[in-house]
């Protein structure tokens, strides 16, 4: 899958391989976190103002991500992640926890794109 400015990300077993399309300089920190491998509701510590790339491997289901942990709150910001479609989440400043849930046994990877 194409991710970001000139990167390709590919999941192989429990490893994600990043390949650059060009040799231009990259800024920011690149970090991989395996958020979970079990169904249910979870929380991940994040940094406010930072953009994360989220990748859900093929055949690993769908995730719902939120910044409040309560989907009925009008001020909540939510993202739905589906398998095989990388997407970015920019965490609002002041937020330090990203909540997520899945009703299937799944794996989701988060990569810091820039700080």
Domain boundaries, the chain: 31-114
Sole residue written with tokens 């289901």 = 61
Q: ∠ at Cα 35 (31, 38), nearest 5°?
A: 155
* CA–CA gap between residue 24 and residue 27 (Å, rounded): 10
pLDDT tens-digit profile, the chain (115 residues) = 344 455 566 677 766 666 655 555 555 544 445 555 556 677 888 888 888 888 887 776 777 888 877 655 555 677 788 788 888 888 889 988 888 887 776 677 788 886 6
CATH 3.30.70.3270 fits 31-114, yes or no: no
Sole residue written with tokens 């093929």 = 58
Q: Give the dihedral sign, CA 90/30/26/10.
A: negative
- The answer, as to whether pTM is greater than 0.85, is no
Q: Provide the pairing of β-strand 97-102 with 32-34.
A: unpaired
**60 closest CA partner among 24, 77, 35, 42:** 35
Q: Provide the pairing of β-strand 32-34 with 15-20.
A: unpaired
């Amino acid at each position: 899958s194409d991710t970001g400015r000139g990167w390709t990300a590919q999941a192989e077993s429990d490893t994600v391989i990043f390949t650059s399309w060009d040799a231009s300089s990259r800024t920011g920190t690149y970090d991989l976190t395996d958020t979970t491998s079990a169904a249910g509701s979870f929380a991940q510590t994040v940094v406010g103002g930072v953009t994360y790339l989220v990748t859900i491997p093929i055949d690993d289901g769908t995730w719902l991500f939120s910044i409040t942990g309560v989907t009925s709150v009008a001020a909540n910001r939510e993202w739905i992640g589906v398998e095989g479609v990388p997407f970015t989440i920019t965490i609002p400043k002041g937020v330090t926890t990203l909540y997520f849930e899945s009703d299937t046994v799944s794996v989701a990877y988060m990569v810091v794109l820039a700080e």
